[in-house]
Structure 1
Amino acid sequence: MLLLKHKLVIAIFIILVLIVSGLSIYFYMGLAVKRNIVGIINIEGPILTSEDANKCLEAINQAIINDTIKAVVLRIDSPGGYADLVEQIYLDLLELRKIKPIIASVTLALSGGYYIAVAADHIYVEPTSSIGNVGVIGVMPPILIPSETVLETGVYKATGYSRLLFPFNLTHALENFLLAVTSNRGSKLKIPLMELKKGMIYMGSEALKIGLADEVGSLQKAISKAAEKAGIVQYGVASLMPRNTALSQSITEWRNLTVNTLNRIQPPPSIWYLYLPSSKINSFEESIVEISGGSKAGLVAVDKSHGNIVSEWDLDIFIAELAKRNVTVGFISSWDDLKSMLNNISCLIVASPTRTYSMRECEDIERFVGRGGMLLLFYDPSYEYVSIPDFFGPVNSIANRFGLSFAKGYLYNEVEHYGFYRNIYIRNFRENPLTRNLTSLVFFTSTYIHNMNNGVAWTSNNTYSSTAERRGRYDVIAYVKRNGTVIAFSDQTFLKEPYCYVEDNYKLILNLVSEIVGVKVTVESRKIEEIREIAKPNLPVGTVKEFIEEINGEEHLLKWIKTSKQEIVVERPDMITHYYYNEEEKLTGYTSNGIEVMYDTPIPPPPYPIFKGKNWKYESSYTLHIGEEETRGKYMEECYVEEIQDIEAIGKTYSCAKISFKTTDQFNVSKGKLTIIVKGYSWISSEVGEVKEEYTAQYYMNGILVREIHVKIMLKSIQKG
């Protein structure tokens, strides 16, 4: 009994040793019975820590030192991982391949996962496997905030890298990755390196065509291939990985990885060969600095009332240069406060807003520019990674008023760049005070600006847009001169240290400061009383007007087109309406999305000239067709000119008749009588016709209010025929 107990203790001890060593009992029993083994190394999930890598490295080491293991199959289902760890696995596999064949069986091999796969002699994929994503992700070193209790001996001792030069490290890492692919795939590659380095993901069947993989096949086929390469016929199969060897996260969980998670695992600066489907950078709170005091040269206000992603930290160099010229800069967190200051400031800065500007706020800004003020618009697409849907929309709610629109996505240049493909050179300039003495700029993750020939700085023709996916010339600075000036920049980073010292970026800042100092805002002294009446507008055939229409707070574009003397077309995103007129320019009816209205008595235009105190009214019955159904209705309209008023629109001041109106529509439907009452104001000028409109529409069914909408319309542009 003592002997049996002793044997039992020894057996338990052996089992424990085997478990600790990471090899299953089955594996060792297999070695005892069969001399030839095909070993399986599972690389599943992301490789984020040294512990993850060590599991793979130990298995590779076992394959190297154990003579019974004749070949190895890599079973890869991984998005990659930390660059240093991926490279360790890759280099050890190269050592293994010198003495034993390696075959890869791939379900998913992205970024570092593919880096590891190319160490194999032969790569099997499934038709829908995910392959490729050759590239690098880098997290910048932190900014050192110095302490007087924790001291360091050098400027980069705590951070490790220069933030300005860190992007060059990504380029070096990418070159290492590409070298691994080209040296192992060799003549099999059928894709240019310029295409490969874009980071595309390919399905297995497509990967075969371009030489990233060798053959479609299952794990069993990969095992057979490994045995064939090793020259063995009879063999066993065993896992070389320890039991419960899942890496940091399961294959479903890794898709939820964020940059913040990576930063906790490997603090920045860090470089990753990793496919990250969605990275989230935390938004941050900034202190709000109110303007205090004044200055001789002027005031500059930075809007913070619309969730603007901008701070004193971003603008400190810019603010310092303005301060040298006796200009005060303040950050204003309340729109009401900012609105009250618009008469006293020379420049308004709107930088990367996250909330849309309302129509009234846009009007306030237009009036400010109309008086000679300067509006600076900054938009940085790198902030799109903040969890804000439609991030470029808020800045365009202002930019569109001045014929500008910031594009989605970012620009890149894979041939000429500053250390990193998204850091683009700008070396083409139009003569302008802003571009004086500039020869070369660098913008750091920039978009481009749609404009009406107002671009003053643009990229080379081999620059690409990430959303357009085409090569071309892209404007990155636009300069619009009206009564005042609007300048738009498609990057914000160039203002900050150390980026402001690259190429001529600092000269650009100085030129911008000079422009601000030279602003002279004047209050227009026109006497409204001199314009006593509004004549009939002359809008020839071919005239196109665009309006911003806001319905219950949601904005969209409305287009007004005079197609002929007898027809005007009004286009909305979900509706096109055709208005028909007779030779006397009276409205005879209209059609709109399956609805047709024909008036018994055509509706005449306003009785021009119109002036303060003038009033008129119309009334007409009509026939209404809705699909196949027909009904009768009655329309009534009452109008009164309250005053002649100046309205700011599209950078100009228009003298308008402010007309209060009320219209009533009544007609029968299947559920009874529907009455629509519309009350509001319309502003009409002699130059362009309608400039602005505001009204409320109430819908009554059998006398009960069932719906109410609030509408605002403002002229955005006009092109006369």
Structure 2
Amino acid sequence: MERDARTAIIVGAVIAVAVAGMVAYILTRPAPPKPPEPADIGIVELSASPSTVALGGEVEVSVLVRNDGGVKGSEAFSLTVNGEMRGREIISLGPGESGILSFPVTGRELGTCRAELEQKSDTFKVVEPTDIRVTGLSVDPPEVEKGKTVKATVGVKNFGQMPGAERIELSIDNENVAREVRLEGGESENLSFGIERGPGEYTVSVGARRESFRVFEPPKEAIGVIEVNFPINWDILVDYVNSMVNYSLEEENVRAVVLKVSSPGGASAYIEEIYRNLLELKREKPVVTCIVGIGASGGYYISLPSDHLYAEPSAWVGSIGVYSTKPSVTRPRGVIYETGPYKRTLFSVKRYPLRLEDVLGRFTEAVEERRGENLKLLRREMIRGKIYHGGRAAEKGLIDSTGSMVVAKRKAASLAGVENYGLINVGWQVLTSSSTWLRTRRVRALLENYADRERWSDKLTPELLESLDPRFFYLHGVGGERIRSNVTILDEWSGKSADRGVTLPELGSKNPDSVQENWELKGGPAENLVLVDAAHLNAFEDEEINPLLQELVEGGAKMEYFTGLSLEEELGNANAFVTISPRTDFTEEEVVALGEFVEGGGKLLMVADPTRSDMAPINSLGKNFGTTFTPGYLYNMENHYGIYRNVYVENMENVEVLGGVERLALLTATEVSSAGSEIATTSGGTYLSTSEESESYGVMSLSENGSVLAVGDFTLMTRPWNTLECNSQFVSNLANFLTEVEAPARRPSWM
């Protein structure tokens, strides 16, 4: 029994150990290996290079791929460009390996192209290829003395969009000179080649383009040709002309000079300087002048120092006179001190017209001195500024005879006593020998700018001349203003265009509570008020009516602007209505209101000024009161203040508004015609510009009932012109006229 029990225990222990060993084995046995991941080849990055290519050029599209799988594998990739398949490649990669696929792509069409492969893409641009071509060839100067340099200029441009380089070959009588030029797309450049050769004629070519130049031995005896074919308004052009004169003086082989003139003139100081220098040249050598095209004003002035003066039969000659811009009136500034009244303004505005007479006198004296007994024009006819064709100019003695440049050159040679002679273009000699390259370039730019004489009038505007500082000009064809429709005129006085409203400050305040709408009940205006028109784009500045305002204020009156509301209502509180140079018509309602106002005892003052506006707008009002302002301006060549348009008026009627007035100075006035009485008229010898007839013209009129006054000039009322003659007395009388009103018992109807 015991033995069986021990056996059982031993067997149990053995079994337990065996089981434990088996369990331990099971627990410690390693797990079986996992199966490998499959190949995973994908795109990491795609790029196209270069980003811009010429049409037909090649772009390389690079694709970076990587195998993120566990076994080696292969994959096929197809590249598309703008949706079209352009390449297919197969790549094999081991686990974790990377590789690059390259797709060469040709740029087949212009524009932006998109290269795509699966979810990756990049763009490149296809443009026009490099296309560098010669665009021009010039040779300057075409004639040159031996030892001087000719400059050949080749213009090149890259008409393509790709940058590139090109070798440009310049051929000079089959001798080649080359230069490489590199240009960006669309870029252009001028290549300059300096050429020196011995005497002879040469041909310069680039491809099919050809130009020629001539190198000559300086002649032992020569006729120098000076050309002045431009307006003389710039100091650099004056220097250019004077340099040509100096060259002609200093060069011994230049035996005589032909001056070729085609110029409308220029600044008086410049013209007179050139005139004096040409006189010096004439004292040393024969000078013959030929006017071609136009020799007017200053262009004629510089033609005077001549031993013989020709003009082509069709050339324009004359226009003797002076042009000037009006000096501006400036205010002093508190931060600047000056020692005298003219340090700031430079001129007396009041005496400025008299200075024009001084300048004109120098011109006419030069004409009379140089033309002598040949001159058939009296001074009073000369200063009218007329211009004549060549034949007529010869009849008037302004030139010696008609003739061409060929005749002028022969005449110069004859006066110099030479037979075998050469011709020297003095301008080219000056420009090619100038040591200051910048000034030479500026001269040439100006000469090119004025090369087209048909456009002189476009370039020589009053605005341009005003920008050159206040100065006098011997200049033809500048200064007038073309008549235009009122609605297109820029309102220079208000700074607003004609289709915009005008806002002007009130010079006197009117209390709305004191306005009497029923004039009849009160028997007259509630206050001594003068209403000034500002509703018709009136051409005047606030400061200009200050002399009249001062007289009104001293008399206890007030002044207000009418700005375009109800004229009938505004007139109900006024003594007088004043309109100055309106530039839009009065409406029928406004005319009716003013008619009733005048019949009711109110005063109406109409002032025109031909330098400020047309006559049609003011006549839209005046004709209803029997008054007409004539288009044009009055002038008197003998009896005037400073210039011909500033006429004197001495014929006065015995009326209150002209009391104490013996003489008036009008600063460009128009004729006033009236069914009433013309109370002031010009003397004989006065002309109207539009009719060119000489007679006595009315410049003021007064209606029979003494209520409507018309004046043909506004400037005489403004400073400083109001201090001339008896102008200030007239302004004082005008204030009295506007404020002395006798109101009727009732307001009668009108029309």
TM-score of the pair, normalised by structure 2: 0.64
- Please tell me the residue identity of whatever aligns with 2:336: V
1:231 correspondence with 2:448: no
Shift in CA distance, 169/283, structure 1 to aligned 2, threshold 3 Å? farther
- Per the alignment, residue 240 of structure 1 pairs with 426
Shift in CA distance, 431/310, structure 1 to aligned 2, threshold 3 Å? same
- Per the alignment, residue 541 of structure 2 pairs with 311
- Per the alignment, residue 492 of structure 2 pairs with 284
SS of corresponding position for 1:254: helix
Cα deviation 1:466-486 (Å, max 9, x = unaligned)? 22212211111111133x611
Of all paired residues, the percent bearing the same amino acid is 30
SS of corresponding position for 2:258: strand
- Per the alignment, residue 81 of structure 1 pairs with 266
Q: CA deviation at 1:332?
A: 2.1
Q: CA deviation at 1:217?
A: 1.6
- Per the alignment, residue 267 of structure 1 pairs with 469
CA contact 2:615–2:631 (8 Å) conserved in 1: yes
Cα deviation 1:441-483 (Å, max 9, x = unaligned)? 111111111122511111111222222212211111111133x
> Residues of 2 paired with 1:506 and 1:517: CA distance?
17
Q: CA deviation at 1:249?
A: 2.6
SS of corresponding position for 2:343: coil
1:488 correspondence with 2:710: yes
- Please tell me the residue identity of whatever aligns with 1:322: L
CA contact 1:288–1:332 (8 Å) conserved in 2: no
1:106 correspondence with 2:323: no
> Residues of 1 paired with 2:401 and 2:254: CA distance?
24
1:56 correspondence with 2:241: yes
- Per the alignment, residue 741 of structure 2 pairs with 519
Rg bigger for which structure?
A: 2
> Residues of 2 paired with 1:522 and 1:285: CA distance?
37
Shift in CA distance, 367/505, structure 1 to aligned 2, threshold 3 Å? same
Q: CA deviation at 1:14?
A: 5.7
> Residues of 2 paired with 1:174 and 1:525: CA distance?
57
Q: CA deviation at 1:343?
A: 1.5
CA contact 2:264–2:298 (8 Å) conserved in 1: yes
SS of corresponding position for 2:537: coil
SS of corresponding position for 1:237: strand
- Please tell me the residue identity of whatever aligns with 1:91: R
CA contact 2:626–2:676 (8 Å) conserved in 1: no
What are the residue-to-residue correspondences of 1:296-695 with 2, within 5 Å? 297-334=527-564, 336-384=565-613, 391-482=614-705, 485-522=707-744, 524=746, 646=749, 648-649=750-751
Q: CA deviation at 1:358?
A: 2.3
> Residues of 2 paired with 1:186 and 1:150: CA distance?
51
Cα deviation 1:278-308 (Å, max 9, x = unaligned)? 5459742435023522596511111111111
CA contact 1:125–1:216 (8 Å) conserved in 2: yes
- Please tell me the residue identity of whatever aligns with 1:90: Y
Structure with more of its chain in strand, by fraction: 1
Q: CA deviation at 1:232?
A: 0.6
CA contact 1:258–1:276 (8 Å) conserved in 2: no
CA contact 1:110–1:274 (8 Å) conserved in 2: yes
> Residues of 1 paired with 2:335 and 2:324: CA distance?
30
- Per the alignment, residue 47 of structure 1 pairs with 232
Shift in CA distance, 203/13, structure 1 to aligned 2, threshold 3 Å? closer
1:118 correspondence with 2:304: yes
Cα deviation 1:620-665 (Å, max 9, x = unaligned)? xxxxxxxxxxxxxxxxxxxxxxxxxx5x13xxxxxxxxxxxxxxxx
CA contact 1:260–1:280 (8 Å) conserved in 2: no
> Residues of 2 paired with 1:32 and 1:51: CA distance?
30
SS of corresponding position for 2:288: strand
- Please tell me the residue identity of whatever aligns with 2:349: R
> Residues of 2 paired with 1:337 and 1:303: CA distance?
12
1:69 correspondence with 2:254: yes
SS of corresponding position for 1:70: strand
> Residues of 2 paired with 1:514 and 1:25: CA distance?
87
Question: Which contiguous aligned blocks of 4+ residues in structure 1 show a shift greater than 3 angstroms?
Answer: 11-17, 24-33, 242-248, 277-283, 294-297
Counterpart selection for 1:151 from 337, 346, 349: 337
Task: Work out which structure has the larger RCO, using CA pairs closer than 8 Å and 6 or more positions apart in sequence.
Answer: 1
- Per the alignment, residue 178 of structure 1 pairs with 364
> Residues of 1 paired with 2:664 and 2:747: CA distance?
41
1:255 correspondence with 2:484: no
Counterpart selection for 2:373 from 187, 201, 205: 187
Q: CA deviation at 1:155?
A: 0.8
SS of corresponding position for 2:310: strand
> Residues of 1 paired with 2:571 and 2:198: CA distance?
80
> Residues of 1 paired with 2:199 and 2:547: CA distance?
67
Q: CA deviation at 1:399?
A: 1.0
- Please tell me the residue identity of whatever aligns with 2:318: G
Unmatched segments (≥5 aa) in structure 1: 1-10, 385-390, 527-645, 650-721
Shift in CA distance, 111/489, structure 1 to aligned 2, threshold 3 Å? same
| Range moving further from structure 2, 512-521 or 316-325 | 512-521
SS of corresponding position for 1:488: strand
CA contact 2:532–2:559 (8 Å) conserved in 1: yes
SS of corresponding position for 1:221: helix
> Residues of 1 paired with 2:720 and 2:376: CA distance?
41
Cα deviation 1:522-557 (Å, max 9, x = unaligned)? 46266xxxxxxxxxxxxxxxxxxxxxxxxxxxxxxx
Q: CA deviation at 1:151?
A: 2.6
Q: CA deviation at 1:158?
A: 1.3
In the alignment of these two chains, the number of paired residues is 505
> Residues of 2 paired with 1:481 and 1:393: CA distance?
24
Cα deviation 1:260-292 (Å, max 9, x = unaligned)? 11112x212x10000134545974243502352
- Please tell me the residue identity of whatever aligns with 1:298: N
> Residues of 1 paired with 2:342 and 2:392: CA distance?
45
CA contact 1:464–1:472 (8 Å) conserved in 2: yes
Shift in CA distance, 249/331, structure 1 to aligned 2, threshold 3 Å? farther
> Residues of 2 paired with 1:399 and 1:285: CA distance?
23
Cα deviation 1:644-690 (Å, max 9, x = unaligned)? xx5x13xxxxxxxxxxxxxxxxxxxxxxxxxxxxxxxxxxxxxxxxx
Q: CA deviation at 1:15?
A: 3.4
| Range moving further from structure 2, 356-365 or 132-141 | 356-365
Counterpart selection for 1:166 from 344, 347, 352: 352
Q: CA deviation at 1:57?
A: 0.3
| Range moving further from structure 2, 429-438 or 239-248 | 239-248
TM-score of the pair, normalised by structure 1: 0.67
> Residues of 2 paired with 1:91 and 1:161: CA distance?
26
CA contact 2:663–2:726 (8 Å) conserved in 1: yes
Shift in CA distance, 89/29, structure 1 to aligned 2, threshold 3 Å? farther
What are the residue-to-residue correspondences of 1:23-34 with 2, within 5 Å? 32-34=217-219
- Please tell me the residue identity of whatever aligns with 2:619: N
Shift in CA distance, 12/68, structure 1 to aligned 2, threshold 3 Å? closer
